[in-house]
Amino acid sequence: MLIRRLIPGLIPGLILGCCALIMTCSLQAQIQIEADLPALRRGTYTDSALWHQVAEFCDAYPRRLSGTTVLEEGLDWISARMQQQGWSVRTQPVMVPTWIRGAESLRMLSAPSRPLPMMGLGGSVGTNGTPIKAEVLVVRSFEELDARGAEARGKIVVWNVPFTTYGETVQYRYGGASAAAAHGAVASLTRSVGPYGMQTPHTGGMGYREDVQKIPSAAITMEDAMLMQRMQDRGQSIELELMMEARSAEDRPSRNIIIEIPGSEHPEEVVVMGGHIDAWDVGTGAMDDASGCFVTWHALNAIKGLGKQPKRTIRVCFWTNEENGLRGGKAYADLTAHEQHVLAMEVDGGTFQPVGFSGSVEGSLKADVEALLQAGITTSPKPPTLVQGGGGADTGPLRARGVPVIELVVDTSKYFWYHHTEADTPDKLDPRELNDCAYAMAVMAWGIANR
């Protein structure tokens, strides 16, 4: 009875005491993290060293499509460099799909006859050794194709869809072939997904429905898509000749690469960050996504340079096969299912001026992420923001298991100019902005690992 009488009076004091203790611990952690920021900045702002490392790798190992020798040789190079820096490197075996482009061409047979720039889309079938010659139907949407479906039979459907957002426009690249085949088309050509063109086609992944015939699918330039739209609007007949040797082969072995700093208090709790190291078989994949990988590697080097262990494990993973299969992200989620991931962070939207993060975080973790954003993780004149939703492709399998995920958001005003093209080369990157991205990732990883 005495205890029951005392409890009502004890509870408010206990609550106040616990709150004070929590606030004191949080304040001490915040002060410690803020004290480490100058050292993290010094560790990430190493003039143009990061840029030169990205350029050296991309110049030596371009066109890193899954299943290619050049990708695996590039992974060997990275592992050797990491070991030279003193990292203990481990790998995760991953079987990846293999798509081979082969020779390809597109020619306009209608006057004025001439070759047109094009790129087969990853996963497409070829033309079975014989060029396809057919007239063209140009449409601006799935709805227009459905309305004019009878006109598509035996023709090449050209999707002249202007760029709005990547997520909205890319559906025509991915699903355009099956939509066209459902109406009897013999091939599908998609206007390159991007807001700006200089007669440069953009490749990327596509897929097929099981209930319709697989037809060849390729990307053409935005200029040629608009040209054919104008010709059709004038009532002119358009005939094209398409040849593609594209084919798929058996899966081949690849691997994820992992380095980490074990946690001092909770090593079983993991903060992982990374990007995908594979690329398309055009350009060098500097923006998409070698620089994203190297930014997180640079961030972990800066954290290591503090000379302190984080409370939780901080890990960097270079995922393989994001572009045409996402096998690396899926394998990572499967092979680490026994671990507790506190947060998964990805850099796969370019490495231009960082402006914040997007992702799926809630509660106290969301508050901590927002607090770290306010610590000044970017040199952008605008305050950094956390946008709810998304969080990255390779971290998607982790998100499906309930792991909070965020992705670095940068100024993408020019990113989709070069995305999946021959023009994705290191010269598009700015050394200062790369360092900014590395600093943002270092601060976020260090802060969350010590929260």
* Catalytic residue set: 322
Please give the C-alpha separations between residue 216 and each of 56, 103, 243, in angstroms, as whole numbers: 36, 13, 9
Tokens for 234?
């004038």
Q: Which residues pair with 107 in a beta bridge?
A: 115, 241
| Residue 212: burial class (beta carbons within 10 Å; 0-12, 13-18, 19+) | middle
Q: How many CA atoms lie within 13 A of 295 on its CB side?
A: 41
Phi, psi of 240 (to 5 degrees): -125, 155
Beta strand 132-139 pairing with 354-360: unpaired
Residues 6+ apart with CB under 8 A from 329: 276, 319, 322, 393, 394, 395, 396, 397, 398
Helix, strand or coil for residue 430? coil
* Residue of 403, 406, 401 lying closest to 391 (CA atoms): 406
